[in-house]
Structure 1
Amino acid sequence: MALFRARLSIRLSHLTMKRLYYFLGILLLLSGGAFAQKITTLSPYVEQQSQPYVNITKVELTKDFTILYFTLDYSSNPRSLDDIILGRRSSNEEIEIDPNCRLYEPGNAGRKFRFVKAEGIPVAPQKREIRPGDMVKFVVYFERLEPGIEVFDMFEGRDQGTKRYWNYFSVHVRNPKRPLPKKQPTPEPKNEEPPVITEKPKDVPPSVEPKKEVAPAPQLVTLRGTVVDAKTKKPISARINYLVPIDGNGLDSMQLSASSGRFRLNLDAGNKYAYVATAKGYFPSSGAFDLTQAKGGQEIDNEIVLNPVAVGEAITLNNIYFDISKFDLLSSSFAEMDRLTQLMRENPTMEIRVEGHTDNLGDFDKNMELSQNRANAVKQYLVSKGIDARRIEAKGFGPTRPVTKGTSETERRRNRRVELVVVKM
């Protein structure tokens, strides 16, 4: 009898455990959807960021949001030479997040994911003061990235004077595409006999088929291109910065990494997009993707040529501007000058000659003087940025070295230029 009771007890215990596992399984199935709604990437790989002391430590993708977790370590923010010259970074600093910041898919300006809210940091115009040694952790919410976008940019703004923005380019996260729903089999129509009509049908007005809505034509243009070496014509790894129009007639600065030398962009038709391509060991190249005459759905090929930095190489600084008959650099020249400054820093033994040129209109001696003063202005800007003056020679050639002998305004404009020649590496 005791043996029977022991066996019965073991059997009941076994049944109880099976029911418990079954119940837990049902709970997991019911809650599985909730677990699947959050995708977390710890310490995401960021190819480039504007401020090294503000880091993204985690990215969470929920059903509704893209959540970025930040750590700001103010003690690890070194002052650069530019900061010292321009007087940036006092002992204390004010921080905030700009509500106009957004996420983008690199190379696709049409896909943007807007700011929603922030925690742990004020939203502009509100500010918070921090002191050297402070560490601040904060969280920023954006609209949910579309599934399948596993690399994104965060753009807050362009630096203005002492105001610095936090921008991150090519942030890598896990965000797989959702599986397509299984297609349900279409039931076969049953062969039913038509009904028998016993009464005379009333007059029925002729049926009018609804007008089919015509889908709007696509407005995006696919721009495919290659960045190549001017000498070898082979693709080279490069980075492309380009400006994109936004609401309110503003511009956003976007960045694209072309690690293989090849790139692909989806841009709105009808616009012109200024760009600058840079690569280590090469002079920067600027230009514009002109889509003013392009149509939506069109595919366009483009090639960007970069000249290698080598002794004897000369390039024209196309974006250096002066007022007529004057030699003060206009503010629109500063971006080009800053790229030249960065090139000098990346090649600390490089020595250059800055050459000023004019057209042949006006007094010869005055043109010679003007070209020398313009070359001097470029040199002075570089020196103000910390470049050793002994590495830069400034020389004016006036109208003596034209690139074209035409007399039209377009050709004369080509002769009015500033060139850079590498003298020593």
Structure 2
Amino acid sequence: MMTMKNLRIFLGLFLIFLLVAAEVLAQSDSIVTYQITLINKRTGKPVPGVKVHYKKLPYESEIGNLTSDNAGKVTAYFRAHEKYSLSIDNPGFLKVAEIVNPLEGASSDLVVNRTVNLIEGGVGTVLKLENLKFRRGEATIMDESYVELDRLVEMLQEAPNLRIRLEGHTDYVGNPTANLALSQQRVDAVKAYLVEKGIDAKRIETKAFGGSQPLVKSTNAAERAVNRRVEVRIIGDTNE
């Protein structure tokens, strides 16, 4: 026979069970606001118009297709205790595919804010190092160039299978032989910096063009400045 004391203990435990069950039930219905900002890894700028797809696992019973806005942002609404596959696939960038647990990194009000860095890629893609500067007539890299070069290092670190070719160009004015040699020295200097930062030299080829491929032909020296450049061409994957 249950005594009054035992009855009180039983009722207390039953009440705790009900409270825990209610909390679990409430959490199972909770929705996480999942906000992603898509950033170009090399330039640091947001990427609009990117297609983001998600599916609820394991049966793919919920499917969503989103597009990033002008600020590179997308917002999805995930069930807190489910898992989702997330894929980001955009021309000119390497594909991102991952499994998302919505509660990882969520705030107390069930909001996640995260940044996904998109890495430019695809064989044949050419990236111009806009802010890479050399001393005039030399292969000495100027100090203001290292911010952009360090972004390139980070891009290569995050995509360890990429192989690139550094392509050097000079102005077409002057001695063609000297221009060809200078463009080779400049890509060699960039390669040396990347290797110094830990990038495997086998992943980096170089090619010098001198002044044979100008972007602009003009008698104006300032306009011809764009011809002096180093471009990064994606040439393959080390797993190929």
TM-score range for the pair, normalised by the shorter chain length: 0.5 to 0.7
Does 1:373 find its partner at 2:185?
Answer: yes
Per-residue deviation, residues 171-194 of structure 1 (Å, max 9, x unmatched): xxxxxxxxxxxxxxxxxxxxxxxx
Q: After TM superposition, give the deviation of residue 414 of structure 1 in Å.
A: 1.1
1:227 to 22, 47, 54: 47
- Aligned residue in 1 for 2:152: 340
- After TM superposition, give the deviation of residue 338 of structure 1 in Å: 0.6
Q: 3-state SS of the aligned residue for 2:213?
A: coil
Question: Which residue does the alignment assign to 2:198?
Answer: 386
Q: Deviations over 1:297-352 (max 9, x none)?
A: xxxxxxxxx99410011121101011100101111111101100011111111100
TM superposition shift of 1:406:
2.4
TM-score, structure 2 normalization:
0.53
Query: CA, structure 1 residues 353+386, in 2 after alignment: closer, same or farther (shift >3 Å)?
Result: same
**Per-residue CA distance 1:211-266 (angstroms, 9 max, x = gap):** xxxxxxxxxxxxxx9733xxxxx3468xxxxxxxxxxxxxxxxxxxxx934329xx
Structure 2 runs not aligned, ≥5 long:
1-34, 36-44, 53-66, 73-89, 95-117
Runs of 5+ unmatched residues, structure 1: 1-46, 48-224, 229-233, 238-258, 265-278, 284-305
* TM-score, reference length from structure 1: 0.31
Alignment match, 2:172: 360
CA distance in 2, matches of 1:410, 1:388: 36
Higher helix share: 2
* Cross-structure match for 2:68: 260
Mapping for residues 206-225 of structure 1, pairs under 5 Å: none
- The alignment covers a number of residue pairs equal to 143
Given candidates 198, 203, 226, the residue that maps to 1:414 is: 226
For residue 158 of structure 2, what is the amino acid of its counterpart? Answer: E
- SS of residue paired to 1:263: coil
Q: How does 1:122-201 map to 2 (within 5 A)?
A: none
Measure, in 2, the Cα distance between the counterparts of 1:282 and 1:328: 31
Q: Which residue is 2:128 aligned to?
A: 316
2:163 is matched with which residue?
Answer: 351
Question: CA-atom RMSD, angstroms?
Answer: 3.3
1:123-142 deviation digits (Å, cap 9, x = unpaired): xxxxxxxxxxxxxxxxxxxx
**Is the Cα–Cα contact under 8 Å of residues 226 and 261 in structure 1 kept in the other structure?**
no
Q: Quick one: distance in 1 between partners of 2:221 and 2:158? A: 37
- Counterpart contact for 1:320–1:418, Cα < 8 Å: yes
Report how far residue 381 of structure 1 moved: 0.5
Decide which structure has the larger Cα Rg and report it.
Answer: 1
Separation in 2, partners of 1:420, 1:409: 24
Q: Secondary structure at the match of 2:171?
A: coil
For residue 360 of structure 1, report the CA deviation from its aligned partner: 1.5
| Identity rate, percent | 40
